[in-house]
């Protein structure tokens, strides 16, 4: 079932305001459990985790920044 544009916008907001901070806390906690890896490895892990978190939400984020395709544009009334 495809999400409407409005639903995708709401889910995106929830992911960014709730999910992303929780993911950051979890990632930092897991790396703190390790016995202080070298800086280059720590940087590599943070960079990888910074990309990996968005992959499951790719479909939700797609097209959210654009105008709602189902909504009529104000210019259509002028013609």
Q: What are 32-62's pLDDT values in tens digits?
A: 888 888 889 888 888 898 888 888 888 777 7
SS3 14: helix
Select from 69, 58, 63, 66 the least CA-distant residue to 15: 58
Q: Is the pLDDT of residue 19 over 80?
A: yes
Select from 19, 29, 21 the least CA-distant residue to 56: 19
C-alpha distances in Å from residue 71, one per residue of 5, 17, 32, 49, 66: 10, 26, 48, 36, 11
Q: What are 68-79's pLDDT values in tens digits?
A: 777 766 665 555
| Paired tokens of 17 | 């305001």
């Amino acid at each position: 079932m495809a999400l409407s544009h409005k639903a995708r916008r709401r889910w995106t907001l929830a992911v960014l305001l709730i999910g992303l901070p929780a993911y950051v806390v979890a990632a930092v906690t897991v790396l703190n459990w390790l016995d202080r890896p070298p800086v280059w490895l720590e940087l590599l892990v943070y960079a990888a985790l910074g990309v990996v978190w968005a992959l499951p939400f790719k479909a939700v984020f797609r097209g959210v920044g654009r105008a709602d395709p189902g909504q009529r544009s104000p210019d259509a009334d002028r013609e």
